[in-house]
Amino acid sequence: MGILILSLFLNGIGLGLVYAAVAIGFSLVLGVSGVINFSHGIMYAFGAYFFWILYGKIGFWASVAIAPVLVAVIGFIIERVLIRRVYGLDPLFGLLITLGFSMAMEELIRMIFGPAAYSVSAPSFAKGVFILGDFAYPYYRIFIALFAAVMLAAVWLLVERTDFGAVVKAGMFNSEMVGALGNNLTLLRTSVFVIGAALAGLSAIIAAPIWSIKSQMGTLILMPSFLIVLMGGLGSIPGTIIGGLLVGVSTALATLVIPRFVDIIPYLLMGFIIYFRPRGLFGEQNIVE
Amino acid sequence: MKKRNKGSFSWVVLFLVAGLALGLTGSQAYAQSKEPIKIGVVSPVSGNYADHGLLERIGMEMALEDYGQKILGRPVTLVVADDETNPDVAARRARRLAEVDGVKFLMGGVSTSTALSVGAVAEEKKILYIATNQNGDQVTGESARHYVFRTPPDMAILVRAGAKYVADNLGKKWFFLTHDYSWGHSGTKWARNMLGKVGATEVGEIKVPMGNRDFSSQLLTIRNSGADVLVITLAGFDNVALLKQMNELKLYDKMKVWYTLMDLVDMYAVPVEDRQAFICAETYYRASPEMEKLNERYMKKYPKLASPVLDTGTYNGWLSIKMLFEAIKKAGTADDVEKVICAMEGLTIKDNARKTPSTVRAWDHQLLTEVVVGKVNPVKGNDILEIKALVPAEGVARTKEENPINVGCKK
């Protein structure tokens, strides 16, 4: 039983880091632009499909390098054409416009690739399972947990240790003031949106070999991402990581006790946190504010 | 003279009226005979079973081609409505097909929950519905209806067909992995029902909701459970992820896997190197040159589909149209739904896909078909099912005592 609990706990950590990696871009955009970006899910789906197309042709690492750039380009276009129109408006406008766009794009993916699900193999360097007695864990899952951790660390360094990050952080507090101080607010918002899109694409790429690729994958990942951002606090990188880990570990361990109700756990956690701390664990302000 | 004239006039009038009446009836019959027959297809274009929906519709189209797109000299059209794998949506779409499009026949669907909601609409609107790819017990069990027929076997047939082989050859300590809705519950219920009969024991059960993408925690629990057989009743996109993750976690090294029903399209969505052998129940195999031809047609027509062999869903779509058309032919009409229903009861279909012909059972409207218990080998290509047992449905289907209903024409 002890081995099983340890396996589930470590699995929860791995899943939590992947969830956090998916949610981090969502959190950044929400923090800086005040847009509840429901197109984040479809960026995630684009990332997975680009990876799937490229993987067989140019290999794993080249796909990992190129696919997020393609998603970032799409993110740039969307920001210029759609998102820019809703800055400063009621968050509901942003939510509706991005949700509508996502639904249209999901349908487009289905039209192009059909309704079937696809699946890709883990790269050869990460194939196999680490087995120690009753403990078993796939090497690829260890790899993606490390990859997600590096990704999160890179975002943290960008925000905490660079001039650009300082402006981003200031923008999360008061974007209008950042603009008034001579910073190009439009460029800042565009940059953050593009980075958010690339992060969504990259997280989909590392998750693709463990989860299937299908047109609804963006919609399915959206709600856990949103919950993690709400739990962790608006725009908070440590909050997003803690939120992701909480969801990952709690759902993994709940499999042992209440496997049928695992999906409810993140919602209960969020309700509990928001009840006592409406700004989330590390948030400075809530969405309404 | 006058009298005779009067008599002649009366006869002329009588003939005229009769002629007019006959003419009118004839022209009406002529109009009817030329009026297209619309079949409403309530089938998933989106949702967890979207790919299965596409495959069943392909089967229906192929069957229409076989009949020259006509029955009783009348053209037939399929009107497709997306049920989104959602019972509420399915009911709305079925209602619209009946009220706006005026369909007399409905078919399609992959989820038992949609079959139940569409069945309710069919009964209300007095139209005939053939559940094409739903295997949950309820469709021809406690929720059976006079207007509803079912093409694929129910879970009692599928599980009973495979249970003995599994207990004798794979192991007797079973762990159940169940899709948490009516179909999944049916599969596990019947496997549980067979435990004592085949000398097996239950080690545990995990129910997973539809839309689950990560099974790693569940599989780690199952891996450490001490079971020697994992009994799976789970399908769709979720199953693609499950198949892959079972290999990823080397579950096959610890236990054998039995799918109470497997739609092979799920397996073909998994890369070849991630496929492993498992036992499953299937409802058709390519046993004859005719079926080989059908398969060749399918592959030529739809070369880009994930499944390089005629999928069960496609086959059931094809068979459902065949059932309906043969019943219409037997009834001699497509306008009197009640006559078509009564003609379908007891209908025997020799479809070249099985050694024994299939028969529509009158009292529960279940098509009784031979079940193939086979081992799916993880090889690329289309010859993947190694047949272990062929089980006629009559011996394993629910009896009247187990399913005390009667929805047939003869009460």
The whole-angstrom separation of Cα B379 and Cα B65 is 32
Q: Which of residues 230-289 of A touch B (CB under 8 A)?
A: 251-253, 255-256, 259-260, 262-263
B252 close to B242: Cβ distance less than 8 angstroms: no
Residue A248 backbone zone (phi > 0: left; psi -120 to 50: alpha; other: beta):
alpha
For residues B405 and B145, what is the distance between their CA atoms, to the nearest angstrom? Answer: 9
pLDDT tops 70 at residue B16: no
Mean pLDDT of A179-183: 76
Residue of chain A minimizing CA distance to B217 = A252
Candidates A8, A115, A212; nearest CB to B220: A8
Question: Residue A4: which of B51, B54, B220 has the nearest Cβ?
Answer: B220
Q: Do A4 and B240 touch (CB under 8 A)?
A: no
Q: How far apart are CA B331 and CA B194, in angstroms?
A: 40
Share of chain B above pLDDT 90, in %: 55
Nearest to B173 by CA among B196, B203, B153: B203
Cβ-Cβ contacts under 8 Å, A7 against chain B: 220, 224
Which residues from chain B sit within 8 angstroms of residue A122, using beta carbons?
Answer: 248
Lowest average pLDDT, out of A88-92, A158-162, B92-96, goes to: A88-92
Residue pairs between chains A and B whose CB atoms are closer than 8 Å: 122
**Helix/strand/coil for A4:** helix
**A11 in contact with B at a CB cutoff of 8 Å?**
yes
Tokens of B411: 């009460």
DSSP B15-64: HHHHHHHHHHHHHHHHHHHHSPEEEEEEE-SSSTTHHHHHHHHHHHHHHH
- Which residue is closest to B248 within chain A, CA to CA? A138
Inter-chain CB proximity A141 and B248 less than 8 Å: yes
pLDDT attached to residue B118? 97
For residue B22, is pLDDT > 50? no
At B144, the pLDDT band (50, 70, 90 cuts) reads very high
Q: Is the pLDDT of residue B342 over 80?
A: yes
Residue B250 has pLDDT above 50, yes or no: yes
Q: What is the pLDDT of residue B287?
A: 65
**Minimal C-alpha gap between A255 and chain B (Å):** 6
Fold for B37-153+287-369, please state it: Rossmann fold (3.40.50)
- A174 to chain B, any CB pair closer than 8 A? The answer is no
A119 interfaces chain B, CB cutoff of 8 Å: yes
pLDDT of residue A118: 82
Phi, psi (deg, nearest 5) at residue A243: -60, -45
Inter-chain CB proximity B46 and A121 less than 8 Å: no
Q: Which long-range contacts (CB under 8 A, 24 or more apart) does B94-97 make?
A: B94/B40, B94/B42, B94/B118, B94/B121, B94/B122, B94/B129, B95/B121, B95/B125, B97/B40, B97/B42
- What mean pLDDT is reported for chain B? 86
Say which residue, B371 or B274, is predicted with more confidence. B371
The confidence score (pLDDT) of residue A77 equals 95
pLDDT over 70, % of chain B: 89
Strand partners, A156: none
Q: What is the pTM of this model?
A: 0.79
Min CA distance, A15 vs chain B (Å)?
Answer: 9
Query: Which residues in chain B have Cβ-Cβ distances shorter than 8 Å to A104?
Result: none
- Mean pLDDT to the nearest integer, B253-281: 86
Interchain contact, A11 vs B50, CB within 8 Å: no
Contacts of B311 in chain A (CB under 8 A): none
Cβ neighbours around A252 below 10 Å, total: 28
Token digits for B152?
A: 């694929």
pLDDT over threshold 50, residue A280: yes
Residues of chain B contacting residue A3, judged by C-beta atoms under 8 Å apart:
224
Strands B148-150 and B128-131: parallel
The verdict on a CB contact (< 8 Å) between B250 and A7 is no
Distances (CA, A) of B180 to A247, A279, B235: 21, 35, 11
Q: Tokens standing for B34?
A: 């030329």
3-state secondary structure of A211: coil
Chain B residues within an 8 Å CB radius of A115: 44-46, 50-51, 53-54
Q: Which CATH superfamily is domain B156-282 in?
A: Response regulator (3.40.50.2300)
Q: Which of B208, B237, B273 sits opposite A121 (nearest CB)?
A: B273
Pairing state between β B358-360 and B348-349: antiparallel
d(CA B247, CA B145): 42
Question: Between these two residues, B154 and A207, which has the higher pLDDT value?
Answer: B154
Instruction: Enumerate the domain spans of chain A.
Output: 25-217
Query: How far does the CA of residue B191 sit from the closest CA of chain A (Å)?
Result: 19
Check residue A12 and report its DSSP letter.
H
Q: Do B241 and A255 touch (CB under 8 A)?
A: no
Chain B residues touching residue A252 (CB < 8 angstroms): 216-217
Q: Which among A115, A212, A256 has the least Cβ separation from residue B221?
A: A256
* Lowest mean pLDDT, pick from A2-6, B28-32, B241-245, B377-381: B28-32
Q: How far is CA B316 from CA A231, A232, B57, B238, B344, in A?
A: 47, 49, 10, 21, 16
Query: Are residues B248 and A122, on separate chains, in Cβ contact within 8 Å?
Result: yes
Q: How many CA atoms does the CB half-sphere of A177 hold within 13 Å? A: 8
At residue A162, the pLDDT reads: 87
Do B220 and A119 make contact, defined as CB atoms within 8 angstroms? Answer: no
Task: Average the pLDDT over A190-214 and give the result.
Answer: 89
Q: Which residue has better confidence, B44 or B31?
A: B44
Inter-chain residue contact A210 with B216, CB threshold 8 Å: yes
pLDDT, tens only, B321-340: 999 999 999 999 999 999 99
The tokens describing A108, both together, are 């487009």
Which of B207, B214, B237 is closest, CB to CB, to A259?
B207
Of residues B4 and A16, which shows the higher confidence score? Answer: A16
CA distance B321 to B65: 11
pLDDT surpassing 90 at residue B232: yes
Angstrom CA distances, A194 to A160, A237, B33, B149, stand at 19, 17, 62, 53
* Chain center to CA of B69: 21
Window from A163-177, A199-213, B218-232, B237-251 with minimum mean pLDDT: A163-177
Residues B243, B177: Cα–Cα separation, whole Å: 12
Tell me which of B52, B55, B83, B213 to substitute to probe the interface with A (most A C-beta atoms closer than 10 Å).
B213
Decide if B216 and A211 are in contact by the 8 Å CB cutoff. Answer: no
Residue type, A34: G
Span B14-37, average pLDDT: 53
Residues of chain A found within 8 Å of residue B273, distances taken between Cβ atoms: 121
Three-state SS for A82?
coil
Q: Please judge whether A115 and B208 are an interchain contact, meaning their C-beta atoms are less than 8 angstroms apart.
A: no
B236 to chain A: nearest residue by CA? A117
B179: left (phi over 0), alpha (psi -120 to 50) or beta: beta
A145: contact with B, CB 8 A cutoff: no
Confidence of residue B12 (pLDDT cuts 50, 70, 90): very low
The angle at the Cα of A30, spanning A147 to A154, to the nearest 5 degrees, equals 25
pLDDT tops 70 at residue A15: yes
Cβ atoms of B270 and B243 closer than 8 Å? yes
DSSP secondary structure string for all residues of B251-289: GGGT-EEEESS--HHHHHTS-GGG---EEEEES----SH
* Greatest mean pLDDT range, A167-181, B43-57, B112-126: B112-126
Rounded to the nearest 10 degrees, the angle between the axes of helix A91-113 and helix A217-232 is: 150
Q: What is the Cα–Cα distance from B270 to A119, expressed in whole angstroms?
A: 5
Amino acid at residue number A9: F
Nearest to A237 by CA among A144, A175, A172: A172
Q: Where are the domains of chain B?
A: 37-153+287-369, 156-282
Same CATH fold assignment for domains B37-153+287-369 and B156-282: yes
Per-residue pLDDT tens digits for A110-140: 888 877 778 888 888 888 888 887 778 888 8
Residues forming beta bridges with residue B10, ordered by sequence position: none
* ipTM exceeding the 0.85 mark: no
Average pLDDT over residues A180-187: 79
Nearest to B224 among A15, A110, A134 (CB): A134
